Amino acid sequence: MTATTAPPRRGPASHARADRDGRHRSPVTWFRGGGLSNLVFLLPLILIFGVFSWFPIVRAVIMSFQETNLVSDPTFVGLDNFRQVLNDPLLWKAVQNTLYFAFLALLFGYPIPLVAAVLMREVRRARGLYSALAYLPVVVPPVVAVLLWKFFYNGSPTGVFNTILGWVGLGPYPWLQDASTAMPSLVLAATWAGAGGTIIIYLAALTSVPPELYDASEVDGAGLWRKIWHVTLPALRGVLFITLILQVIGTAQVFLEPYLFTGGGPNNATLTVLLLIYRYAFQNSLGGDYGAATALSIMLAAVLAVFSILYFRLTRSWSTS
Amino acid sequence: MTLSPTDNPSEIGVVSQDSAATTDAVDDPDGTSRRAAAASRNRRESDRRKVSSRRRKALDGVEDRGALSEADWRRPSIRWGMATTHVLLLVILVVAGLGPMLLLAKYAVTPTQDILRTPMAIFPNGIAWDNLDKAWNDVQVSRYFLNTIWLAVGSWASQILVATTGGYALSVLRPRYGKVVQALVLSTMFVPAIVLLVPLYLTILDPPLLGRSLINSFWAVWLPAGASAFNVLLVQRFFDSLPREVFEAARMDGAGPYRLFWSVVLPMSKPIIGVVSVFAVIAAWKDFLWPLLVLKDPAIQPLSVRLPSIEASTDLGVFLAALAISTLIPVGLFLVFQRMFLQGAGLGGAVKG
Amino acid sequence: MKSTRQAIALTLAGALAISTLAACSSGGSGSDDESSGSDGDGKVTLKVVSLLPGSEQEAIDAFNAQVEEFEAANPDIDIVPEEYEWKATTFAPQLAGGTLPDVFEIPFTDAKTLVENGQLADLDEQFRTLPYADKFNPAIIEAGTGADGHVYAIPAKNVYGVGLHYNRALFESAGLDPDQPPTTWDEVREDAKKIADANPGVAGYMQMSQNNTGGWQLTVNTFARGGRTQEVAEDGTATSTLTNDGTKDALEWLKAMRWEDNSLGSNFLLDWGTMNQAFAAGQVAMYTSGSDVFTSLVQTNAVDQSTYGLAALPLEGDDAGVLTGGTLAAMPANVDESKKEAAIKWIDFFYLAKLVDEKRAVADAETLVANDQPVGTPVLPMFSEEQYLQNQEWIADFINVPLDQMTSYTDTMFDLPLVGEPSQKTQEIYALLDPVVQAVLTDENADVDALLEQANTEAQALLDQG
């Protein structure tokens, strides 16, 4: 999937039009020049982005320096919110857990789809069946998938997984009910739900590998492994990198799994950064600490922005090369 | 708004892939009249047909090749090795992909006590069909499913409206302040959705101008969904790649900006609208945290919010039946539109959760 | 790409078709106007708490019957029932978001702070119109009274003392006499082990641990062993005392059951709702919760009533007590007078009159019985013991709960030393204790002393914030 975006095409006509707009404009020429219709077409965008994106972003920054709880008027407290969050022992626990989640997600979720896709590429009959089977979990609504796996993970000897593993003499495992196995269990379920999508992306990328490259390397006498190593993987380089960064950005914001599987337990073993933000803001029955919540989300955003920029750089450099 | 990892910057990966798919289709700058545009459209159609037939073959794996050559395939060691590997892979895929769903189907009609005591026994005490009946009538899965669809459709409409009109203004009309607007839109891509969680919630509580809270209203989900910088960027890039000459020709024919939009640009934008639509529906389908916060009234909750809230109060057998029904519908859709799902996933597959 | 486009078009067409159906069937449910208190015809619309989400159909029918009865008697009030479950983890955004019913329920522990914050409506004037306003147990009415002496939240539904709920069938399966429930914590442990050994996969005993209920139940167990979790001085300053012997004993006891006896089953992340579910499904043989939980077990979990048993909480040590709490009915601060007037009528009708008025008591019981709903679940008297006994007499013919399976509790319920929940930062400290309970349940090497030391420091920090 070496993306090749043609640079935006600007015909001579549009330049002419831009010149015609001129420098000095009265309301009349503004109107005649299409100023009103420009505005009409931009209005939905400006309204929606203004109210639901730009304004909240600015508000988040302001709120992170305020004490707000909807009960009393907000007051500016300087860096108190940041200090409070950074001093919260739970923050480091949450950061650790989130990194652990990301690490496990890479460990499970990175090689498996790759191997599966490379193998599936060689399937000659009924490849559609393979793809469909691999993709099936992806169409299950994520909440349903989590609730289903939660039931599978029942830690008693009569739980579904424990019964199955019991046939081969393994277990019973506590799954979600133990601080050391809870996180891997979450990641396993998340991988199940997500791997199919990744496989299909890789497959699409593999389909676009020019057959001539394989032909050429065969002329050089390359065997199967060398072809995979020298042709297949380099061809996937771009898409592999993209999925890597996307996965990092995605896992840094994991919420659904810890929230529904374990509520962050046992003993905060699955408390993630996003869950902590949610707790700050919404989990106290007497009113949320919105200042701490926005302060933490802004810190998280700063970290993720680095990845986003990296990502932009990469996709751009690939799409222009 | 989609407060899930699928939102914002993570989706950008699609841009390059997709514009690759669309630009080659519209790479035809020489038309100077609408007739020329029509001709180029025809040519594009035929190109596209070729591409798509190639793709189809690629998917079925008949004529294209992977790392293994015909010669490789004739070697018994490779032949048998690969055959074994593929059978193994198929078994794994069946167990992992289909297995959980078959189990779910079984539990949907198993009495609760059997599920709890002997989950893997095959109906030791008969089949409990009434689980399904209760899930459908008492738990009212049908209603929450319709809510889910309703949410998706509204979010879709909101995204399409903002992306097409905004993209059109920024790409074709190009007002002087367009650059500023565009920069502002782009900059939101670097802000993860989580930053919006609290302030957007407060905005929904007390939206400007409206004077009433949008909590417990579909609008609380629909409107923020429209603020997707990714969509605007996608559509704008697509419009950028359309042949300017067509617009000029239309202007010559006396079409104003509205006619141009409605009769020329929109009809040419079907592919990109399709792509945006797929993303919009998938995102709405997966959304959880945001509807959880703003849709407190059970009557309008989507499945994703309702199912967890009744988990503790619903008999396990009935609950699993409800899960099964909730799964059946999208899986059914998937099986019917399989090719489109898989192509869409390959094309825009970077949208993953 | 053509096939893709066709497929997209098809899907969208399909989705649109379905959505049209949705639009018809959901009938604009997303847009009910909440700001106006009264309809055009002068009717007051009042949103009230109905039942927990996912209740049994019979319970819903019974509730609807009561609504009809009320609306017939008050034609100018339109009652809109809404599902509701108070959860520490969802309440605040609902209150802030204005998505609560007009009359909602809160626990005793939260009322004072909500009043202080100005988040509850002053119901004093309306409350005084109730003929039995001055008959309440003063300690209970105090829970919803503000610093100005006005009543903001009215004692409703129930006042519970915590009891030990048990499954009689599981007791029998382990060769235990279901009429002789354990009376000491050691006996609870012994019986739990026997039950767990006899029924693989079943928890002989289990304790809640999630969504603040872990802290709540740890406090129950602390009180029952003579400990207290905080002390409030005359001047209002509070000291956290989480390192007391009662709490330690409670955790060590739990730890021994988990790691020496393995009698707590295999699901350690339970909250109030999931615990009820596990109990009703026969997965948990014993647990502690409010004495009134039976009603909920019937309404939402369809528990098999013949297997249900309720025993008094074992009390050990000096100053041991039974934790008591309860539910108040309150309204958001911004409601108008007409809603308050309507609300007090509803509170009278639905929550209170049936306790003090013979006619209402009988009518209420009749409706419930007609719909197979529990009547006679033991709760603590909101007014006086005499009033309670009087009430039980009125409805004697209707009582359908298996009271003879609850005698171990009801025999002593009036003699129990009751202790209210800790008053300062209650829910926040409960939240702090959830992970402590979870650690003991899921980590064999959990150090109880260290965990409590840590929690105590954090709790004190919360208390010092004032």
Which pLDDT tens digit goes with each residue over B66-113? 777 777 778 888 888 888 989 999 999 999 999 999 999 999 999 988
Q: Which residue has the higher pLDDT, B307 or C2?
A: B307
Report the alpha-carbon angle B106-C267-A274, nearest 5: 95
Which pLDDT tens digit goes with each residue over C287-306? 999 988 998 898 888 889 99
Rounded to the nearest angstrom, the minimum Cα separation between A307 and chain C is 32
- Whether the pLDDT of residue C259 is over 60: the answer is yes
Contact of B31 with B243, CB cutoff 8 Å? yes
Rounded CA-CA distance B256/B247 in Å is 10
**Alpha helix ranges (H) inside A88-210:** 89-109, 111-121, 127-139, 142-152, 160-167, 179-207
First and final CA of chain C: distance in angstroms? 65
Rounded CA-CA distance C459/C436 in Å is 12
Cis peptide bond prior to A172, omega within 30° of 0: yes
Rounded CA-CA distance A172/A175 in Å is 9
Which pLDDT tens digit goes with each residue over A157-194? 888 999 999 999 987 889 999 989 999 999 999 999 98
What is the identity of the amino acid at C377? T
Contact of B15 with A2, CB cutoff 8 Å? no
From the list B238, B235, B204, the residue with the least C-alpha distance to B3 is B204
* The two structure tokens encoding residue B67: 């790392």
Average pLDDT on C392-408 reads: 91
From the list B95, C95, C161, C262, the residue with the least C-alpha distance to A177 is C262
Inter-residue long-range contacts of B84-92, CB under 8 Å, 24+ positions, other chains counted: B85/A119, B86/A119, B86/A122, B86/A123, B89/A116, B89/A119, B89/A120, B89/A123, B89/A130, B90/A129, B90/A130, B90/A133
Rounded CA-CA distance A130/B97 in Å is 10
pLDDT confidence of residue B46: 54
Block mean pLDDT (10 aa), chain A, length 321:
41 43 63 78 93 93 84 81 91 95 90 89 84 90 94 89 92 88 94 89 83 82 82 84 84 91 91 92 78 92 87 68 45
Q: Kindly tell me the burial class for residue A254, based on how many C-beta atoms sit within 10 Å of its own C-beta (0-12, 13-18, 19 or more).
A: buried
Rounded CA-CA distance B315/C144 in Å is 36
Q: In angstroms, how far is CA C268 from the centroid of its own chain? A: 20
Instruction: Return the residue of B nearest to A35 by Cα.
Output: B175
pLDDT confidence of residue C52: 78
* The two structure tokens encoding residue C164: 């030990």
Those of residues 134-153 in B touching chain C at CB distance below 8 A are: 138-139, 143, 146-147, 149-150, 152-153
pTM of the model: 0.82
Hey, which chains touch B, using 3+ CB pairs under 8 Å? A, C
Contact of C225 with C250, CB cutoff 8 Å? yes
pLDDT confidence of residue C256: 96
Nearest to B274 among C5, C277, C281 (CB): C5
Rounded CA-CA distance A136/C459 in Å is 48
- Whether the pLDDT of residue B39 is over 80: the answer is no
Rounded to the nearest angstrom, the minimum Cα separation between B49 and chain C is 6
Output the CA torsion sign for C433, C434, C438, C441. Answer: positive
* The two structure tokens encoding residue B259: 């006619």
Average pLDDT on C262-269 reads: 92
Strands C322-330 and C154-167: antiparallel
- Whether the pLDDT of residue B295 is over 50: the answer is yes
Instruction: Return the residue of A nearest to B258 by Cα.
Output: A37
Average pLDDT on C76-104 reads: 82
Rounded CA-CA distance B16/B143 in Å is 39
Rounded CA-CA distance B47/C34 in Å is 56
Rounded CA-CA distance C450/C448 in Å is 6
Residue B22: pLDDT band by 50, 70, 90 thresholds? very low
Q: Say if the Cβ atoms of A243 and B326 lie within 8 Å.
A: no
Q: Say if the Cβ atoms of B352 and A198 lie within 8 Å.
A: yes
From the list C170, C203, C179, C168, the residue with the least C-alpha distance to C189 is C203
Q: Say if the Cβ atoms of B67 and A249 lie within 8 Å.
A: no
**Chain A residues lying within 8 Å of C200, measured CB to CB:** 157-158
Share of chain C above pLDDT 70, in %: 91
pLDDT confidence of residue C165: 96
pLDDT confidence of residue C181: 95
Residue B9: pLDDT band by 50, 70, 90 thresholds? very low
Query: Which three-class secondary structure state does DSSP give residue C325?
Result: strand
Rounded CA-CA distance C165/C312 in Å is 9
Instruction: Return the residue of C nearest to A287 by Cα.
Output: C92
Average pLDDT on B130-145 reads: 88
Average pLDDT on C436-448 reads: 94
